[in-house]
Structure 1
């Protein structure tokens, strides 16, 4: 009964999403002219699906209109990624992406004429550094670079782009690079469209590689993070074998260590000048836009953007791969085996469509071949598909984790058996139609999701396809038959795959990029360019905030047994969600979680476990179960036409579930194996130590049944716990297209007992006081040390929320946050550094100040002392304070809590003891708060507080640092952290 999310997942998945979006299109493409005289491509009789404009300079502009919220999701896409990195400067496209946030001659500088000579000399020195033969010569050149960089930094306006973006209320400001593309991401308020266009046109119009050497060390940190990831090494091994002779197999996006150590600013500028041009770029917008006005503004700001008439792209073809290749990779993380095949990439649309269907056929979490034949039958601990799709080629991979005592060879054979089932057509004849039914569900989900809509257009642009190509894809997808898929499987799955066994051991291929000695930069965070001052002073009409009124935004009625039903109508799609929030949680019964997970594998009186999954998938339905300390939340969702069928299936699951002792034995064996594997994950360990600090040695994280207790549990008694759930008081939430008057009868069903029981969740764990400075550390084999500092900030009050949000905005959000500027930008101590105040999820719990930095082991002492300095000394300027206030106010003004999120907000507020929308109080308090008030809050609640610290890394590296000056040192064994 596969009804919950994956247990182990590395899914990198996009093909089926493209098919969802293909299925939106049901008409021909046509060229039309707007009221301004601009020609655009759209879908005939279905223009709400978007428009494509092409400016005279070759710039592509894709737009989709979605008026649900006053925001616009934006993408600026450059059609070049690491595939075109120079062979002696790998990692260049990715590093250029980083440098695009540093500004140019206009943005990010207070005096370009004075700064320019330093940048030119630094550029020349990097060429000299690259040519130097000995390390001694390189060190001498680097010392000169370091000295000049210190002087050049005096003219920098650090992270000015991020500051400007925040001033216009931008969110999700980021970028990413892969094989074929570099994509710049941002969500903006719809009233700030013109300022955003002016900002980005100015940014992309030039590039200055300022603050180069500190940002380079940040890339070193990113490189070193990959070195600690065993899956990174497996992917590299697979790529080298599948794509020999092609950049996908010869380069990584992060680059080679040797190239990162010897960068060329000249090569980066050449790359930028060649590829960052109008005829190799696209601007993509989805959201609250007016088409005609938006294209006018785009033409105004981007119509003169430079193009490259000589732009050419070399086409690469990987060598034929017609063999079985086997290799072994060693590392300290979980053992697994990966079996990988090579397919044509997204440029081959017919191949992508078939592969998208095949991917859902082999695994869809309910009724795929792996779901039914492997996971449901408990043959392995975990088996997941991984799809890495690129323009030229796509890697189709199955990754399996063995059960206790099972060999990786056994898992490989199980994988190949399912591949053979695809080839022989050994699966239910209804499977392909079931996939198509779920595509229909995906179509409804994609209707008003800005993220889906911009990604749809991005894929069209990168793969050089017109909108009519989506029509062809949809037609082909709809026409595919079982015979087609059997033929496709036999054509593609032959003795042409790579097997990589990832085994426990020492990875001798790891390379740590050592950071050269640099002088911390004396950055003036108040510096502003004239451009920034002018743009941020431009006035735009504010959007009025909209706060929730739960009495108006939701309707309600009571069932005959007095259980409440809350109702919100879905007016935009045919999707429904039906949630049961049951007053029964982990604090009531710690065996209940075991029972719920066990039920994942069980059938009912009417359906076998396999039939149950098939029934859900066939009807495009989902059942998800979540559990917290106080509640079990069961959610049924899908298309409205399957509502009655969904209720029938859900009732059968709850009331007729059947225990199976053999399944339980296999489940407990896998559970115990999985528990041991989880201990290898240092991020999970950080969470465990956090709980140790907050609640003591016995805490919600490690208070789990022992292996012996799990084995001795009675499967029949566990099933009774499931059947008993609806005997407890609960409430019901419905979101969907049906009228409230039609719901009372179907919701008063067999799940609703006459007199539901009530039982309040006990307060099992008491928060600990932090009365002295302590350092807890755990031994993990990693290049980096992960450091977290925790302080307790007092019990939840509404009055604390505005201050916590202001602090978090200043110290956590974006490239201009204070830790980012001081620790990454100024000292190059980390790839990631942030601090925020975590709000509790229920009344009676406390706020916690959480600060994090990941750094090289030899920088641990410097990283801790530097971060502690930021926490103890108030360095926030009045300008930073004002900008943080403005960002919070803009975010609240632009935020719209709609649809089923209204109920989620209601539940969250109720747990905090709040009856009204807290954003209204926060908005008014932030608006009136003074700089002096915030400074007083910082000095009282942040400065010189008692703290506990977490450090995870190699024990010998941790102990090299002089840590006792920061507090009492205590090593935590994994058994203490995890409870077993």
Structure 2
């Protein structure tokens, strides 16, 4: 995972010039509540680092801005510590840690266990057998016995318990040297959460293994379709031939996936899931003295044991470029990787500075010399810090007609500038100033605090160094940067991966053995679940928005100003919001791109980029279909200078035909790349399904219109922007009146606003028969969407829709769709369904369902979703859990900062003037299963759908597709409009 400087907590109020006078940053020891802990002086997060008697690390970072806690349970073990004969094992185990123990996830463990033991033995027999016929026979036995065992299992009981306590985002992830289990919980539910985690990590039972293995197969196949993942794997294999960073992949090899061993997985658990190799990281609303005792009481049962030390032969220096080639259907890219020391070294901490010297979005060498001058479509530098080594990755995307070798030359020339000192020393100061701003913003979030602490824990980074990083960076000189670049970024010590656009003939999909769907016992619940539910939790009073009280109002010229005051720090965010977009003018999105390449009579485009970056500020113009927003942000101390700089550029930008010519080429290349992107293709099909052949997705300039575009046309649009009616939104230290007063002098508005250009209207279609929209794409998987436009928006329906979605299709692993399609039938890694509300009152609701499956299981996947659309399974417990999740989530949901303004504007577009969450909360208990069932039957059952399918025509045949409706195969020009 990337280690980001902007997540490092620093002194929030200090200016760079005063850094040398600050408190010495050092580890100190404190005692409170009967526990001793360490902390870092000057740490604004006030994080405490405990080590319990059994070696368990506990990191607590209290903040009471929201009544919730971001919780991580981290294990310092991942794909790097997988046995060579069982790659992907850590990832397997991560999946299995959701299956329960002998106390939950089962209706009768004593009856279940003999079957599980048989399955264990059968897998060992399966793995030691080479004869394919015999292996098939053994797998039939595994399938049969698994079906018997499943009769006693309760699928997704972990997720049900979490949902009932108001948990959100329950998930886990595995990477090179960490496996992390994450939950976002109400602070009032901490006792329930700790009780569940204590049991979860006591002794997991590996049940429902063969269906979960199918999900891992799907995940592997998704990876085979991901050219970015293939590029990174090729890069790491070449950078680290001796280390498991390069020798192992997180999901594992196909051969190892086909030969799993429950015995090996269990051994891995007993080896690495021990307290002296684990950490619990909590950030949120709690008293650390109370919290540490709770954690200790729950986890003191764990016993420490020695951890195997991972050893490897040090990597030999790279003395000449190592070249690798990767093929796939997505656009071509070039990636260059340089190897650095491990994350806890000073040189690794400087990697992010090095990355920012190259790309920071405004004034890096890549930004100014390659992107701003439109010599490349894009260029980025990112660091990847790991325990043993770190990596600097440079990625470039070519413009039309450009070779990947030309991309390489351009990027390496910029690296040479670093080595030769061809950059301004002011850039270092500007980077530090921008880090200061970013860190202030990031530190506001309890979840970001926890994420940063987690990253340091698993990578072995000293938190003291993190707290002091800005202090350290402020002392860095240009000469040191030059020396650093000459030490590590030479002409010969890198790996280069050429990602070519074309067929990957090496891809071999994971062929999944046939399985019999299992009964997932969705209505059952264990005594343990009931005991957790009975643990008392303090009531939390919900907080609703009152738009009249929570939003300040003023006038700046002719514009209405809506404001929320920032009383926490010096950050401001300013928005100019227009009720017009690409439906009013297809040129507006082009103009929004064009401005970044323009200057005025007195300043170049480069001058503006440097000036914004020096002020630690930024601006962005976002042109949507019906709403366009200009966002300006920075430090309040630079408010006047930042706004003045933007207004100068907007009012005085000059046409630049050379920049437009380059932009046209850039857009053409971007269009070509979009047609090679399966996600974009799917988006186009979905828009086609909702609106027909002429739709918002393909409402773009034709190739001829693009060719005929004039620079003056775009500049005139920019010059006229302030003359169109717009609202001003402000979040910052000023009051609304202060902001309005300041803006009156900075932002001019006309006496009478210019009317918006006439809007083109797109109307969502009401389908009267089934259709299939198919797009051919070279991929292993098949991606299937169900689309249906529904009735007009009615805010009174909000509680019903919220409950239906949570129960049926969006409630995580406990939702009906997930349980039936993934858990029972193992047809997908990812699946969901949602009855979605529109963004404005005049639009209808719509339904979207999704299944990503192996192409040869398309028919099974379609049937499975269609069965659910026509007959929704009933579970009173599931509905009760859905209610609890919604209720407790709403009780602890706090809309703050500028989100208050955007919530109000969203409500206004829907024709309401109140916080809709209160309506849902007040009416939730009035809803029962009959209500939800009636909603399902009236809106979804036996209705016509449009199936949007992206898959390889080599793997999916027309005969199958035609079974589901009228088959339409729009070509890419029809989908994209060019």
* Residue 220 (structure 2) pairs with residue 220 (structure 1): no
Q: Deviations over 1:509-560 (max 9, x none)?
A: 2120100011111221112111111111333222111111110001111234
Which segment is superposed worse, 573-582 or 956-965? 956-965
Secondary structure, counterpart of 1:479 in structure 2: coil
Q: Deviations over 1:577-597 (max 9, x none)?
A: 111112332222111111111
Q: Counterparts of 1:46 and 1:468 in 2: how far apart (Å)?
A: 8
Q: Is the 8 A contact 2:10 2:44 kept in 1?
A: no
Task: Tell me which residue corresponds to 2:891.
Answer: 893
TM-score by length of 1: 0.96
Equivalent residue runs for 1:125-144 within 5 Å: 125-144=122-141
Task: Tell me which residue corresponds to 1:304.
Answer: 301
Q: Is the 8 A contact 1:22 1:470 kept in 2?
A: no
Equivalent residue runs for 1:411-560 within 5 Å: 411-471=407-467, 473-494=469-490, 495-560=492-557
Which of 909, 920, 926 matches 2:918?
Answer: 920
* Residue 743 (structure 2) pairs with residue 747 (structure 1): yes
- Alignment CA distance shift 1:921-1:669 (3 Å): same
* Residue 773 (structure 2) pairs with residue 776 (structure 1): yes
Q: Counterparts of 2:736 and 2:857 in 1: how far apart (Å)?
A: 61
Task: Tell me which residue corresponds to 1:398.
Answer: 394
Which of 712, 718, 723 matches 1:716?
Answer: 712
Q: Is the 8 A contact 2:8 2:467 kept in 1?
A: no
Task: Tell me which residue corresponds to 1:384.
Answer: 380
Q: Counterparts of 1:764 and 1:917 in 2: how far apart (Å)?
A: 29
Task: Tell me which residue corresponds to 1:694.
Answer: 690
Task: Tell me which residue corresponds to 1:607.
Answer: 603
Secondary structure, counterpart of 2:954 in structure 1: helix
Give the drift of 1:284.
Answer: 0.5
Q: Counterparts of 2:154 and 2:11 in 1: how far apart (Å)?
A: 45
* Residue 645 (structure 2) pairs with residue 619 (structure 1): no
Q: Counterparts of 2:387 and 2:45 in 1: how far apart (Å)?
A: 27
* Residue 952 (structure 2) pairs with residue 963 (structure 1): no
* Residue 176 (structure 2) pairs with residue 179 (structure 1): yes
Q: Counterparts of 1:232 and 1:313 in 2: how far apart (Å)?
A: 25
Which segment is superposed worse, 324-333 or 286-295? 324-333
* Pairs aligned (count): 967
Q: Is the 8 A contact 2:800 2:927 kept in 1?
A: no
Task: Tell me which residue corresponds to 1:575.
Answer: 571
* Residue 3 (structure 2) pairs with residue 14 (structure 1): yes
- Alignment CA distance shift 1:303-1:21 (3 Å): farther
Q: Counterparts of 2:565 and 2:82 in 1: how far apart (Å)?
A: 51
Q: Is the 8 A contact 1:27 1:471 kept in 2?
A: no
Give the drift of 1:724.
Answer: 0.1
Q: Is the 8 A contact 1:424 1:486 kept in 2?
A: yes
Give the drift of 1:468.
Answer: 3.0
* Residue 950 (structure 2) pairs with residue 974 (structure 1): no
Equivalent residue runs for 1:803-952 within 5 Å: 803-810=800-807, 811-952=809-950
Task: Tell me which residue corresponds to 1:169.
Answer: 166
- Alignment CA distance shift 1:547-1:166 (3 Å): same
* Residue 640 (structure 2) pairs with residue 644 (structure 1): yes
Secondary structure, counterpart of 2:696 in structure 1: coil
Q: Counterparts of 2:172 and 2:188 in 1: how far apart (Å)?
A: 23
Which segment is superposed worse, 379-388 or 140-149? 379-388
Secondary structure, counterpart of 1:848 in structure 2: strand
Q: Is the 8 A contact 1:34 1:292 kept in 2?
A: no
Give the drift of 1:213.
Answer: 0.5
Q: Is the 8 A contact 2:26 2:41 kept in 1?
A: yes
Task: Tell me which residue corresponds to 2:192.
Answer: 195
Give the drift of 1:465.
Answer: 4.3
TM-score by length of 2: 0.97
Task: Tell me which residue corresponds to 1:59.
Answer: 56
Q: Deviations over 1:85-141 (max 9, x none)?
A: 000000001111011011111121111111111111111111111110211121111
- Alignment CA distance shift 1:346-1:796 (3 Å): same
Q: Counterparts of 1:316 and 1:207 in 2: how far apart (Å)?
A: 34
Q: Counterparts of 1:297 and 1:607 in 2: how far apart (Å)?
A: 60
Which segment is superposed worse, 594-603 or 17-26? 17-26
Which segment is superposed worse, 500-509 or 486-495? 500-509
Q: Counterparts of 2:150 and 2:695 in 1: how far apart (Å)?
A: 47
Q: Is the 8 A contact 1:858 1:961 kept in 2?
A: no
Q: Deviations over 1:407-433 (max 9, x none)?
A: 111111001101101101111221000
Give the drift of 1:456.
Answer: 2.2
Which of 88, 96, 101 matches 1:104?
Answer: 101
Give the drift of 1:43.
Answer: 2.8
Q: Is the 8 A contact 1:841 1:912 kept in 2?
A: yes
Q: Counterparts of 2:708 and 2:309 in 1: how far apart (Å)?
A: 68
Q: Is the 8 A contact 1:588 1:762 kept in 2?
A: yes
Q: Counterparts of 2:198 and 2:758 in 1: how far apart (Å)?
A: 56
- Alignment CA distance shift 1:177-1:158 (3 Å): same
Q: Counterparts of 1:760 and 1:717 in 2: how far apart (Å)?
A: 14
Q: Is the 8 A contact 1:693 1:948 kept in 2?
A: yes
Q: Is the 8 A contact 1:122 1:145 kept in 2?
A: yes
- Alignment CA distance shift 1:503-1:43 (3 Å): closer
Task: Tell me which residue corresponds to 2:16.
Answer: none
Q: Counterparts of 1:191 and 1:19 in 2: how far apart (Å)?
A: 28
Q: Is the 8 A contact 2:11 2:43 kept in 1?
A: no
- Alignment CA distance shift 1:166-1:322 (3 Å): same
Task: Tell me which residue corresponds to 1:363.
Answer: 359
Q: Is the 8 A contact 1:19 1:353 kept in 2?
A: no
Task: Tell me which residue corresponds to 1:407.
Answer: 403
Give the drift of 1:961.
Answer: 5.9
Give the drift of 1:682.
Answer: 1.1
- Alignment CA distance shift 1:18-1:691 (3 Å): closer
Q: Is the 8 A contact 1:21 1:446 kept in 2?
A: no
Could you tell me which runs of 5 or more consecutive residues in structure 1 were left unpaired when the two chains were aligned.
Answer: 1-11
Give the drift of 1:472.
Answer: 5.3
Which segment is superposed worse, 273-282 or 581-590? 581-590
Give the drift of 1:35.
Answer: 4.0
Secondary structure, counterpart of 2:698 in structure 1: coil
Give the drift of 1:320.
Answer: 2.9
Which of 789, 792, 800 matches 1:792?
Answer: 789
Q: Is the 8 A contact 2:120 2:262 kept in 1?
A: yes
Secondary structure, counterpart of 1:743 in structure 2: helix
Q: Deviations over 1:237-290 (max 9, x none)?
A: 221211111111111111000000000100000000010010000000111111
Which segment is superposed worse, 482-491 or 580-589? 580-589
Q: Counterparts of 1:463 and 1:353 in 2: how far apart (Å)?
A: 12
Give the drift of 1:661.
Answer: 0.6
Give the drift of 1:630.
Answer: 2.7
Q: Counterparts of 1:893 and 1:460 in 2: how far apart (Å)?
A: 32
Give the drift of 1:738.
Answer: 2.1
Task: Tell me which residue corresponds to 1:325.
Answer: 322
- Alignment CA distance shift 1:960-1:276 (3 Å): farther
RMSD: 1.7
Could you tell me which runs of 5 or more consecutive residues in structure 2 were left unpaired when the two chains were aligned.
Answer: 14-21
